[in-house]
Amino acid sequence: MSESVASADLPPLPYRTPPQWAARWLDHRDELLVEQAHLEKKAAAAALSFLFRLPADPALQRGLSALAREELVHFERTLKLLGARGIPFGPLAPCPYAAELKRAVAATMPERLVDELLVSAIIEARSCERMQCLAQVLAPVDAELAGFYSELVAAEARHADLYQEAAATLVPPAVVALRWQRLGAHEARVLRGLPAVPRLLGGSGDDALGGGGGG
pLDDT of residue 135: 97
Percentage of the chain exceeding pLDDT 90? 87
- What percent of the chain is helix, strand and coil (3-state, nearest 5)? 65, 0, 35
pLDDT of residue 206: 63
pLDDT of residue 205: 76
- 3-class DSSP state for residue 213? strand
CA distance 172 to 191: 29
Q: How many other CB atoms are found less than 10 A from the CB of residue 82?
A: 18
pTM: 0.92
- Candidates 169, 155, 189; CA nearest to 78 is 155
CA distance 157 to 153: 6
pLDDT greater than 70 at residue 50: yes
Percentage of the chain exceeding pLDDT 70? 92
CATH no. for 22-87+106-201:
1.20.1260.10
pLDDT greater than 70 at residue 22: yes
pLDDT greater than 70 at residue 127: yes
59's CB contacts (< 8 A; 6+ apart) are 1, 2, 3, 4, 5
pLDDT confidence of 55, banded at 50, 70, 90?
confident
Domain residue spans of the chain: 22-87+106-201
pLDDT greater than 90 at residue 193: yes
